[in-house]
Every structure is written in C-alpha cells, then in structure tokens.
Amino acid sequence: MHCTRKINDNLIWVGADDRRLACFEGVYGVPDGVSYNSYLLLDEKTVLFDTVDKAVYEVFFENVAYALGGRKLDYLVISHMEPDHAATIESLVLRYPEVRIVCNAKVKVMLAQFFQKDYSERIDLVKEGDVFTSGKHEFTFFMAPMVHWPEVMMTYDKTDRTLFTADAFGTFGALNGRLFNDEADFFVENLSEARRYYTNIVGKYGPQVQAILKKAAALDIKTVCPLHGFVWRSHFGDFLEKYLLWSSYTPEEQSVMLAYASVYGHTENAANILAAKLTERGVRVRMYDTSVTPPSYIVSDAFRCSHLVFAATTYNAGVFVTMENLLHDLAAHNLQKRKVAVIENGSWAPTSGKVMRELIAPMKNMEFIGENITLKSALAENQLAALDALADSIAEEIKPRPAVAASAPAEVPAAVPAAAPPSVDGGAFHKFIYGVEVLTTCVDGKDYGCIINSAGQAASGDPKKLSISVIKKNYTAEMIAKSGKFNISILTEDAPYKLFQRFGFQSGRDTDKFESVTWTERTANGIRYIPEYTNAVLSCEVIATEDLDTSVLFVANVVEAKVLSKAPSCSYAYYHAHIKPKKNPAPEQKESWVCRVCGYVYEGAEMPDDFVCPLCKHGKEDFEHVVPVVKKKQKGYVCTICGHFEPCEGELPEDYVCPLCKHGKTDFEPAEQ
C-alpha cells in the first residue's frame, strides 16, 4: 500500500524508510534506520526528483503510481547516481517508458556504467545555470561536485522556492511518519545522527560543501528537500550554521573527545583518570573505547570537539588495530584544526605513541599538546602529575581562568595615577548568581513569552511574593500590564540555545514564539509554560508595578508553583559560559585554484603548469584561480546577550537598544568584524 506525504499543493514525498539495513554504504551502522527521499512534482508536466534504494522499491513504485493518479511520468531529474538513490532507475524506465531523463553529462556516463544501457535518446542534458520548465515551475541547476560524488547537482525550483539538495542536509534515521523538521525535536533528537551522516559521508569534502553553500546563499529558499532525512520548512538557518562549522572543520564546542584502545584495561584506567581530572576542571569529555564504538561515531565527535586525546596500547610493534583504523578514518575524512594529546602504553617497547603521531601529523593544522605520555604496562603513581599537567593545559585553553597575582605589593605606591572616570562594565553583571527564566503570559487567547534573568523572591509569608523586571520595549511587558498575570518557567542547564533564540531574540509583536512547538501545557491560570528544560513553574498575579526607566518592575503574588524536575537551574553565568555559542573566527580565505570539474581545491598562489587534479585527473586549464577579497574590519559593538553586531565608529547612543534582544547599551562591548 502506498505511503506518501504532501509537501505543498504540487509536491509529494514518495520515498520510503528502511529500518532493516545493517550498514549504510556497507560500513555505517544505522540503528535508527535511514530514509530514501524521492519527490514527485505535479505540474503541467510531471517531474520525479530521484528514485530510491532497491531495498524499498516496492512501496516506492506504489507511491509514484498513487501520486501520479493515472497521469504519465514525463521527467526524471537525477541529482546523484549513488545506488541508494539511483538503483531503481532502470525499473522506473521500464514502468514509465515515455519518461525523459534530465541530468548532467557525468550522470549520463554513470547511467551507462551502472545499467549497461544507452539512455542517450531519452536524456536532456543540463549544465550549471541551465533553466528548465515543467509548466508553472521553473528550475535552475547547480553543480555540486563531490557533495558527495562528482556528478551531484542541486535543483532550485524558483516557483515554489524549493531547493533539492541531493545528499546535502540529509541525516541518518528513518522518518517514522514525520517528514518536516518541525515535526521532530531535531536539535535534541536528530542532530547527532545528522552530524554523523555529514562527517562520515561528505566530511572529506569541506571546501566543495562551502562552494555549494556560497551558491545557495544567493537563493531565496523556502523549502529544502534532501535525499535522506527531514524536509526543512522552518529554522533552516540553524541547520545551515552547523554545515558552515562542519565544512570549515571548525569545532562546534570547546570540549574533549577522548578515544582509547586498551587490551587489559590499563590504558583505559589512565584514560578514565584523565577524564575525571578534566571533568573536575569543568571540561566536557566525550569518551570512547575504540574496540566497542564503531569509528563513525568517534569521527562525528572528533568533528564536534576542539581537543582530541588518543590513548592506545602498543600492538605488534605498532599501535592497537582499532586505534590505527580510527586514525586512518579521521585522516581520510580530512579532519583538521584540532589540538591533540597522545598517551601510549607498552610493557617492553612502547611504540604506539610514535605511530599515532605519525598518523596524525599529516592532517592539516593539527597541534600536539606537549610530549606523549608513556605508560609502562600501567599508570604509575608518579605519573599522575603528568595527567594533571595535561588536564590543566587543556582546561586552561577551554576555560581560561583569571590570572592570579604572584604576590601582593609590599606597600601602596605613593603616587597613584589619575583614575579613569567611573564606568559601568556590563560584564560585572554577569558575575551575579541569578537564574534565567522564560516569562509567559496570555492576552485575548494569544500567548506571549520572553527570556528574563530577573526573577527573585520579594517577600516570604503567605502568599509568597515574587518580583521580576522586564525591558519596557519587550512586548511581553506590555502584555503583562494588560493581563495582570504571568508564569515563570525556570530554565535548567540542559536548555538548548535554540530555546533562548526562540524566546529571546525575536519579538512577539511580529512573531508567534510558540509556533511549531510540540508542547501545549498550561497552568490553572490558562497561561502556557515550558515543560521541557525547566525544573519549576510559578504562576503569579501582579500586585504592584514600578517604572524603572528602561524596564518595568512587577511585584506579584505566587498563586501556584510546582517542581517539574530535579535538574539544576541555569544561572546567567552558566548560560554565558556553556550555552551561548562562542563566536567562531571566520575561516581564513586563501589564494587557491578550484577545479571546475570536481571542485578539488589546490591551495597556493601559483599552480604548476603540469598539475593534474588528484580527484578527476583534469589539468591546470580546468582550474579557476580564486583570489580572496580582503575585507576591511568594521568597528562596532557586540551584544553580549544575543551576539548582534552594531557597526559604530564612536560611542553607542545612551538610549541604544539591541534590535534583536532589546537589551541596552550596558550589555554591549566594543568589537570588530
């Protein structure tokens, strides 16, 4: 029986899930399955975008026939010839003998190779920038070589603003009935599998991914249709941000990926001790036994973390095989720009450290942290200091601490230099230990909410009293003035940045901040609260209001309060240290030569005349010389709350308010970008 989903009035998903596949591409375990997406457009002509893997051919053909509703299939657009999307092309042509194939020249060659048939007569060849129409819909084609094979292309439907992205923006995991990103809690439940998919499938080809992202940046995109995983119809920018990090090999977080290979547990013991020492210093550690966890998961977290520690025993006068495999895999995926520490073990002739270094050293921009730590059979008592030193060194980079003066001055200097005029440093306010909350209210059936960091008990007794201050320009403040009541949902340390973006960085004047959330809970006063990433909710009725110039203070009776979880509350300081993303420096643009055929990037100002592309074997004449444009840095101020950059040569006006989060001048600090 057919199983389809409608994307819009003209476009239908006709793909299928596969939950029985043990290993995707014969190597990547997919415990949550995988989806093969195919899309059918019903216009004056009917157009199918790619087919599916042969494992799901039965339901796929039922889907196509059902969605066509008796019409003939006019066109098949082929984005990618890998058999998980192309295996059923031959059967499709047999079932729909009039179908014409729209593809590029490289696809044409592969079609003949895979199916040993000449499809020339039914092929309409397209190339970069060509336009094709199916009636009301107009398509443009963009070549995306090596994302993930050389023949890959993307198709942009200008009419519906839909981009068909082939493998890009795909994820491991069956759809399980959900098709759109907002039908899943993507950044909580699916991001790790999207990361594992990207890093293992196209991680090697970061420059080529960057090249296609640049092309896509010029398009007005409403919907993104990849060949695996969810169709994106909202918040695509959040996923795009991840792609920009992954494809530039920029760590997503300042943390440690610790992988060890241990035969009898002694190397593992040292790894455990180091992990404990790092954790005690406030460093997040993601830890793997290379004999237990398949490399694809470790590769994924190696892309995620800024620092890598490899600990392995010596084996056959080399390094233990699972560690050797992992390091080869990391090199094959082009991992770069990481800080690396090495721990080796060997009972009579330790060699694993040397071999690990030799495997890591050729990777680009890898920086070793100190010398190898060498264990002889087991960690000795007197080696704890070496692990302490390594943990200190990593912690210092990840969580810089204020320098401590070596000694107090013997006496106050007689002449004190003229003091600078007193000023208010917004950073000092981040030192208070106070929490972060979502403030919600409801007026005329409409829900409003914002992030605050000002809730506190104003008086004990019965009823208890609570005070909050809210920036006046914040729409929620206006709405509380009308409703006279509000809820406070106290956020916990696991609250994702997305939640702060949702409630903190947009205005309820023009946005429904509750759009597409999956929860609907309300307290007895009828106001919504946040049931996830919170540990308590308090319902309050306003009894007094005080104008505080830029903010308004509400004092309220607490009429209902309940504890939702035991998770620790998120302090404002914790938000700044661990949740708010650190600004990533823009990747350095280098003079280079880019292969027009496959996208290979040769770094350097001069390319030898006899240079041959190592990927597609084309010569220098097929390379384009790319000279980066040097952008002058702009002076301004950055909002320490939401990261908004305001260009400004002089001082910000006193009454300046952040256009994103509505915080004032005191929350800005000077910056350049």
Which residues here bind ligand FEO, judged by CB under 6 A? 80, 82, 84-85, 148, 167, 227-228
Min dist CB 589 to ligand FEO, Å, is: 28
Which lies closer to ligand FEO via its Cβ, residue 104 or residue 469? 104
Cβ atoms of 486 and 528 closer than 8 Å: no
Min dist CB 205 to ligand FEO, Å, is: 11
Cβ atoms of 249 and 205 closer than 8 Å: no
Min dist CB 635 to ligand FEO, Å, is: 45
Cβ atoms of 203 and 334 closer than 8 Å: yes
Min dist CB 85 to ligand FEO, Å, is: 6
Strand order in the sheet with 551-563: 446-452, 437-443, 485-491, 534-548, 551-563, 465-471, 456-459
Min dist CB 197 to ligand FEO, Å, is: 9
Give the CB-side neighbour count of residue 197, counting CA atoms within 13 A.
28
Instruction: Name the residue whose CB lies closest to ligand FEO.
Output: 82
Which lies closer to ligand FEO via its Cβ, residue 198 or residue 593? 198
**CB under 8 Å to 487, separation ≥6 — which residues?**
439, 440, 441, 523, 525, 527, 528, 529, 537, 538, 539, 540
Q: Could you tell me where the DSSP H helices lie in 494-633?
A: 497-504, 572-574
Cβ atoms of 470 and 480 closer than 8 Å: yes
Which lies closer to ligand FEO via its Cβ, residue 80 or residue 307? 80
Min dist CB 33 to ligand FEO, Å, is: 14
Which lies closer to ligand FEO via its Cβ, residue 82 or residue 324? 82
d(CA 375, CA 382): 11
Long-range contact pairs involving 153-158 (C-beta distance under 8 Å, separation at least 24): 153/79, 153/103, 153/104, 153/107, 153/126, 154/79, 154/212, 154/216, 155/49, 155/77, 155/79, 156/219, 156/221, 157/41
Nearest CA to 259 out of 201, 320, 316 is that of 320
CA angle 494, 576, 672 (to 5 degrees): 140
Which lies closer to ligand FEO via its Cβ, residue 16 or residue 375? 16
Cβ atoms of 55 and 18 closer than 8 Å: yes
Which lies closer to ligand FEO via its Cβ, residue 168 or residue 261? 168
Which lies closer to ligand FEO via its Cβ, residue 29 or residue 135? 29
Min dist CB 65 to ligand FEO, Å, is: 24
User: Which residue is it, tokens 């823009």?
Assistant: 586
Which lies closer to ligand FEO via its Cβ, residue 166 or residue 657? 166
Which lies closer to ligand FEO via its Cβ, residue 78 or residue 274? 78
Min dist CB 569 to ligand FEO, Å, is: 43
Min dist CB 308 to ligand FEO, Å, is: 27
Helix %, strand %, coil % of the chain (to 5): 30, 30, 45
Instruction: Give the DSSP letter string of 38-56.
Output: -EEEESSSEEEE----GGG
3-state SS string for 306-332:
EEEEEEEEEECCEECHHHHHHHHHHHH
Cβ atoms of 235 and 190 closer than 8 Å: no
Min dist CB 213 to ligand FEO, Å, is: 17
Which lies closer to ligand FEO via its Cβ, residue 148 or residue 430? 148
User: Which residue is it, tokens 């309220």?
Assistant: 556
Min dist CB 82 to ligand FEO, Å, is: 4
Which lies closer to ligand FEO via its Cβ, residue 84 or residue 160? 84
d(CA 527, CA 487): 7
Which lies closer to ligand FEO via its Cβ, residue 17 or residue 82? 82
d(CA 514, CA 661): 17
Which lies closer to ligand FEO via its Cβ, residue 83 or residue 350? 83
Min dist CB 200 to ligand FEO, Å, is: 11
Min dist CB 170 to ligand FEO, Å, is: 7
Query: Residue 476 burial (CB < 10 Å; 0-12/13-18/19+)?
Result: buried
H-helix or E-strand containing 477? helix 475-483
**CB under 8 Å to 197, separation ≥6 — which residues?**
170, 171, 172, 228, 229
Cβ atoms of 209 and 168 closer than 8 Å: yes
Tokens found for residue 550: 């830029």
Min dist CB 293 to ligand FEO, Å, is: 23
Which lies closer to ligand FEO via its Cβ, residue 481 or residue 615? 615
